[in-house]
Amino acid sequence: MKESGKTVDLNCDFGEGYGAYTFGQDAELLQYVTSVNIACGFHAGDPHTMRRAVEQSLAAGAAIGAHPGLPDRLGFGRREMAITPEEAYDFTVYQIGALSAFVRAAGGRLQHVKPHGALYHMANSNSAIAEAIVRAAAATGDALTVYGQSGSLLLEAARREGLAVASEVFADRAYERDGSLMARNKPGALIADEEQAAAHAVAMVKNGYAITVDGERAPVQADTICLHGDGPHAVQFASRIRKALIKAGIRIEVLDHSK
């Protein structure tokens, strides 16, 4: 297959268990992804889980990012909370700092930050929350890349702050015509067929559009694709998507804005 000249990062959320509880298929997914977003102790994760996740990721050569969420373990950080921008800043600095310490202790470098769950979606549409998260990322001094949904206010805020950005898309989610994700509770919002998800991933990277639920095309920028690890067929999805991208001539590489 002729090279398309396109490259993409594959990321997954990682280390989202805590205590005696496990979540997702971390070890199996590491062979398919190039970057990971490690839970930092609020929505999931604990010191021991964070350390192990960092060590696993470094051993696999995956770039490590902080995955700060809302302080809501019972809701797994997926329920929106009425927080102030100041709280969003403090939550984010706290969580980045915790993970960064483990990464440095293991001899690695923290590459990026990607908000989790409800905090991610709040940052997509709330400019004050987006700006607070970006200020927190900038304040760490680690020159972090900000991962955010394609077309989001979070990416706009990061660009204004002078931070590197990675525009994220989702292979297993349907899109609205404006390029936003379809709400999970709507019929057809989740793509359960791995062939359809793989074709969707290729179209977004190679052609710059997402397929809407009604068959239309929504423009997106695909620097990184999120591979969810919590579905029953997550590993098969990841394998199929990676193979489809390579077959289409798309190179799968770690994003590196440090050079």
Dihedral sign computed on CA atoms, order 156, 161, 166, 168 = negative
Q: Is residue 257 part of a domain?
A: no
Structural domains in the chain (count): 1
* 53 within a domain of the structure (yes/no): yes
Tell me whether residue 128 is in a domain. Answer: yes
Is the sign of the CA dihedral 122, 65, 38, 33 positive or negative? Answer: positive
- Please identify which residue in the block is written with the tokens 């423009």: 219
> pTM surpassing 0.75?
yes
Alpha carbons 145 and 37: distance in angstroms, whole number: 12
CATH number of the domain bearing residue 186: 3.20.20.370
Residue 204 structural domain: 7-252
Per-residue pLDDT of the chain (259 residues; tens, 9 = 90+): 455 579 999 999 999 888 878 776 778 889 999 999 999 999 999 999 999 999 999 999 999 999 999 999 999 889 999 999 999 999 999 999 999 999 999 999 999 999 999 999 999 999 999 999 999 999 988 899 999 999 999 999 999 999 999 999 999 888 988 888 888 788 888 888 899 999 999 999 999 999 787 788 889 999 999 997 666 678 888 999 999 999 999 999 998 765 4
Q: Is 188 inside any structural domain?
A: yes
